[in-house]
């Protein structure tokens, strides 16, 4: 048996940056993502977000790829929200997402960052945050 734990900080947004994730909707959605993820072997350590995006600290195991995990989390959560009519409109996630590995020594710092999303976004937009991530992690240099 392989013993694998790869920490990932993943960020994804709503389609067209629609600000539809009210606090109540986020609480229900995040609880569902945690519970359903656990059923599927996806360990969601911490999840939070704002009206138009989500931050999630999760751990991959030996059987998971980032692409498969993100496809599952985004697709399944949107399907659940739409089936439950959680919102007055259909929940659609944007196709793209951001994901980086996190070392064990940085877990607490990432948790704190995710935990403080509401406060953080009083000072900056998701667009600016996204641009900062792209620069910080060198994504602008990828083809």
pLDDT of res. 75: 96
The two three-digit tokens of residue 131, written as one number: 């641009």
pLDDT of res. 128: 73
Quote the DSSP letter at residue 90.
-
The two three-digit tokens of residue 67, written as one number: 């692409």
Entry pTM: 0.86
User: Do 134 and 128 touch, CB atoms closer than 8 A?
Assistant: no
pLDDT of res. 86: 95
pLDDT of res. 5: 86
**What spatial distance separates the first Cα and last Cα of the chain, rounded to whole Å?**
36
Quote the DSSP letter at residue 79.
H
User: Would you identify the CATH topology of the domain 6-136?
Assistant: Alpha-Beta Plaits (3.30.70)
In sequence order, what are the residues at sequence separation of 6 or more whose Cβ sits closer than 8 angstroms to the Cβ of residue 59? 5, 6, 7, 8, 43, 45
pLDDT of res. 143: 47
At 53-90, the pLDDT tens digits run 999 999 988 888 999 999 999 999 999 999 999 999 99
pLDDT of res. 140: 65
Low-confidence ranges of the chain (pLDDT < 50): 143
E strand or H helix at 30? helix 23-39
Sign of dihedral through CA atoms 22, 25, 28, 32?
A: negative
The C-alpha R_g of the chain, in whole angstroms, comes to 15
Q: Give dist(CA 20, CA 23) in Å, integer.
A: 10
């Amino acid at each position: 048996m392989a013993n694998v734990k790869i920490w990932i900080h993943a960020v994804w947004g709503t389609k067209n940056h629609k600000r539809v994730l009210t606090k109540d909707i986020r609480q229900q959605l995040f609880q569902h993502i945690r519970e359903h993820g656990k059923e599927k072997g996806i360990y969601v350590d911490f999840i939070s977000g704002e009206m138009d995006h989500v931050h999630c600290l999760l751990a991959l195991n030996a059987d998971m790829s980032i692409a498969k995990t993100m496809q599952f989390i985004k697709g399944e959560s949107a399907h659940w929200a739409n089936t439950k009519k959680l919102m007055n409109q259909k929940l659609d996630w944007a196709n793209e997402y951001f994901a980086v590995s996190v070392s064990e020594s940085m877990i607490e710092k990432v948790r704190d960052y995710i935990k403080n999303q509401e406060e953080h976004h009083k000072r900056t937009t998701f667009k600016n945050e996204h641009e900062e991530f792209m620069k910080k992690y060198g994504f602008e240099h990828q083809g």
